[in-house]
Amino acid sequence: MSNRRSKKASETRSAILSAARQRFTDEGFEASLSSIVEDAGITKGALFHHFENKQALYYEVWRTLQQEMNQDTQAAAAEGRSPGDPYSAMLAGARRYLEWAARPDYQRIVLIDGRAALGRDWYEA
């Protein structure tokens, strides 16, 4: 695959994930693929080139959110570590997690719809 093609594929994938994240935040797993395709400015064929089905797309959005949250809370814990206070890192990480839990995208995609949308096997993996 040429660099130009690779760049276009990466841009398309990013557009799909961005549109899906917003739609899944607003509408949950019930968001239609047609609305995601329209928001991303692509064709359904392009969507299915990148993702096998709606569940696979949802999983990638869910996984990305989880990864972002994990990195952010770990960084907060590391920054919050104080010499002589064994709980400081834990409290800093917990505070940051609670901030994530209050975010509409994390609430809807991970905490509310995640398990039902992905099924037990994917969610617990």
Residue 1 has pLDDT above 60, yes or no: no
List the beta bridge partners of residue 85. Answer: 82
List the beta bridge partners of residue 82. Answer: 85
Identify the CATH class of 3-123: mainly alpha
- Which alpha helices (DSSP H) does 1-125 contain, by range? 3-27, 33-40, 44-50, 54-80, 88-101, 104-106, 114-123
Return the DSSP state at 52: S
Give the lowest-confidence range in 15-19, 71-75, 96-100, 116-120: 116-120
pTM of the model: 0.88
Distances 98 to 22, 60, 91 between C-alpha atoms, Å = 21, 22, 10
